């Protein structure tokens, strides 16, 4: 989809939606919520919902927050050329940075002037404004991508990098925040709690993904040779995926505690009805399907002519597998591995249900205490970890795909 750079493009509906949502949220939805103490906030009894318009009176510069949205709306409504992508992207990222960077100052100013009580949280309006500006910036990137020269994917990362850097600074180095969410983050980060949970989370998902890969590839290869094995293992792995995770983890507790009762020495290695052992087992079982399926279909997808040629040239079964079949199936297998890895980093948040640890620790704590801050403390890093794993494996997959396979099927026959 390459068009002439000066061609008139249709309106960017995505950017219009983003700008409208931002302006609407700024005008009508609670921007900051506050309460006299954390417990009141936790019970969702909000003493006060402060909207942006009332805050602007106390802290006039906050008006800057809505300027980029107005600009973006005007740019998006005109049938503008692809170059307008730069305008949208700039407005979106500036808005994103403005909303993020001013939120702490608004809370501090509001608390100082008495408009806000001691415990403050971002309100729905602020969240929606962030999403709206994100949409505007993304719409800009989409439009830039249509013009041939721009390789603008990396641009999208700039505001995110800036926000991440600022967030890290807030969490690790700045004064105790006025924002309750940030206070909780600061607390957990500075005592090392969150780092430990992220470490556990990565460890749980890495070990179980590795086991899923080993078992899944073995079953996929076996299934390639024996159709019945393929059908049976795909069926069983599919059934496992339909089990609710809670039930699967629960069902694994009993055999593991029986095992630990029978061989008490296992307890020294942390194996028992509760803890990481049943959690890793459960996660591994969950992760099997994509690996088995993609290994099997990837191997089956190698053309009969190539298999025949390989055998006719005197390859042994093992040489055929490692020199021809696996290199060919590699992109498909890696796609399955990526799916499993991302899925397991997500489900690993449930490991804490049976004492497995990980970021689920904060989420469960948040649910118990009805504390949004703790839920987010678990959920935000969990999402970031999953996205990072996804990007890393996507990159790896493209690197490992043999060059000859990246070429589209060529010319004649």
Partner 1 sequence: MSQPIIVFDGVTKTYAAKTAVDNLNLEINHGQTCVFIGPSGCGKTTSLRMINRLVEPTSGRILIDGKPNDSARPEELRRQIGYVIQGVGLFDHLTVAQNVGIVPRLLGWPKQRIDERVDELLTLVGLDPAVNRNKFPRQLSGGEQQRVGVARALAADPPILLMDEPFGALDPITRERLQDELIRIQQVVKKTIVFVTHDIHEAIKLADRIAIMRNGRLVQYDTPEAILWRPADEFVQEFVGTDRVLKALGLIPVWSVMEPGEPGPKWPGDWTASTVPVAATLRDALSAAIANGMRDTAVVDERGAVAGWIRRERLLTVLEDLQSREVAS
Scored b (16 or more CB within 10 A) or e, 180-203 reads: bbbbbbbebbeeeebeebbebbbe
| Residue 10 binds to partner 1 (criterion: CB under 8 A) | no
What are residue 33's DSSP bridge partners? 49, 121
Residues in CB range of 296: below 8 A, 6 or more apart: 220, 223, 224, 230, 234
If the CB atoms of residues 221 and 359 are measured against partner 1, the closer one turns out to be 221
Residues in CB range of 252: below 8 A, 6 or more apart: 278, 281, 282, 354
Distance, first Cα to last Cα, the chain: 27
Binding residue for partner 1 (CB under 8 A) from 201, 328, 338, 374? 328
- Binding residues with partner 1: total (CB under 8 A): 29
Binding residue for partner 1 (CB under 8 A) from 154, 314, 368, 399? 314
Exposed (0-12), middle (13-18) or buried (19+): which is 246, by Cβ within 10 Å? exposed
State how far the Cα of 182 lies from the Cα of 31, in Å rounded to an integer: 16
Q: In angstroms, give the least distance from the CB of 310 to partner 1.
A: 7
CA angle 173/129/90 to nearest 5° reads 80
| CB-facing half-sphere around the CA of 406: CA atoms within 13 A | 7
Binding residue for partner 1 (CB under 8 A) from 310, 343, 372, 386? 310
CA angle 70/73/78 to nearest 5° reads 135
Binding residue for partner 1 (CB under 8 A) from 114, 176, 264, 410? 410
| Residue 413 binds to partner 1 (criterion: CB under 8 A) | yes
State how far the Cα of 299 lies from the Cα of 291, in Å rounded to an integer: 12
Binding residue for partner 1 (CB under 8 A) from 39, 74, 161, 313? 313
**Ranges within 108-137 binding partner 1 (CB under 8 A):** none
Angle, nearest 10°, between helix axes 84-113 and 67-77? 160
Beta strands in 123-245 (DSSP E): none
Binding residue for partner 1 (CB under 8 A) from 161, 306, 391, 392? 306
Q: In angstroms, give the least distance from the CB of 230 to partner 1.
A: 23
Contact between 328 and 294 under an 8 Å Cβ cutoff? The reply is no
Q: In angstroms, give the least distance from the CB of 221 to partner 1.
A: 18
Binding residue for partner 1 (CB under 8 A) from 316, 384, 392, 395? 316
If the CB atoms of residues 254 and 308 are measured against partner 1, the closer one turns out to be 308
With CB under 8 A as the contact rule, which of the stretches 336-344, 356-364, 367-375, 400-408 interacts with partner 1?
A: 400-408
| Residue 408 binds to partner 1 (criterion: CB under 8 A) | yes
| Residue 404 binds to partner 1 (criterion: CB under 8 A) | yes
If the CB atoms of residues 1 and 304 are measured against partner 1, the closer one turns out to be 304
Binding residue for partner 1 (CB under 8 A) from 1, 154, 269, 303? 303
Binding residue for partner 1 (CB under 8 A) from 151, 242, 368, 412? 412
| Residue 293 binds to partner 1 (criterion: CB under 8 A) | no
Residue 277 Cα distances to 227, 274, 339, 352, 356, angstroms: 32, 8, 22, 12, 8
With CB under 8 A as the contact rule, which of the stretches 91-99, 245-253, 309-317, 335-343 interacts with partner 1?
A: 309-317
Which residues contact partner 1 (rule: CB under 8 A)?
303-306, 308-316, 319, 323-324, 327-328, 402-405, 407-413
């Amino acid at each position: 989809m390459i068009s002439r750079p000066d061609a008139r493009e249709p309106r960017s509906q995505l950017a219009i939606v983003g700008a409208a949502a931002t302006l609407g949220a700024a005008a009508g939805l609670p921007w900051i919520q506050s309460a006299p103490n954390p417990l009141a906030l936790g019970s969702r009894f909000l003493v006060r919902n402060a909207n942006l318009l009332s805050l602007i009176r106390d802290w006039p510069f906050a008006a800057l927050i809505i300027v980029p949205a107005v600009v973006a709306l005007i740019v998006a409504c005109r049938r503008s050329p692809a170059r307008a992508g730069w305008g949208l992207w700039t407005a979106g990222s500036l808005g994103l940075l403005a909303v993020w960077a001013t939120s702490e100052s608004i809370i501090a100013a509001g608390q100082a002037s008495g408009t806000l009580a001691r415990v403050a949280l971002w309100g729905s309006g602020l969240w929606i404004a962030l999403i709206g500006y994100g949409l505007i910036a993304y719409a800009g990137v989409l439009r830039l991508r249509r013009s041939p020269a721009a390789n603008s994917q990396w641009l999208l990362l700039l505001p995110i990098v800036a926000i991440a850097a600022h967030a890290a600074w807030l969490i690790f180095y700045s004064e105790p925040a006025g924002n309750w969410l940030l206070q909780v983050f600061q607390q957990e980060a500075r005592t090392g709690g969150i780092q430990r949970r992220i470490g556990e989370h990565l460890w749980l998902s890495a070990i179980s993904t590795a086991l899923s890969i080993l078992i899944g590839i073995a079953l996929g290869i076996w299934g390639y040779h024996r159709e019945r094995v393929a059908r049976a293992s795909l069926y069983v792995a599919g059934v496992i995926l339909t089990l609710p995770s809670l039930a699967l983890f629960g069902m694994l507790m009993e055999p593991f505690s029986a095992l630990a009762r029978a061989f008490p020495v296992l307890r020294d290695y942390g194996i028992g009805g509760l803890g990481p052992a049943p959690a890793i087992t459960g996660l591994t079982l969950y992760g099997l399907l994509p690996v088995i399926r993609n290994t099997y279909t990837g191997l089956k997808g190698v053309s009969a002519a190539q298999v025949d040629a390989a055998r006719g040239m005197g390859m042994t079964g093992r040489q055929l597998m490692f020199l021809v079949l696996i290199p060919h199936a590699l992109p498909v297998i890696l796609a399955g591995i990526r799916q499993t890895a991302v899925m397991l980093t997500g489900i690993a948040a449930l490991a804490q249900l049976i004492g497995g640890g990980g970021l689920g620790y904060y989420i469960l704590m948040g649910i118990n205490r009805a504390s949004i801050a703790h839920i987010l403390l678990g959920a935000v890093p969990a999402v970031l970890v999953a996205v990072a794993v996804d990007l890393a494996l996507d990159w790896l997959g493209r690197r490992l795909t043999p060059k000859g396979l990246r070429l589209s099927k060529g010319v004649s026959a």
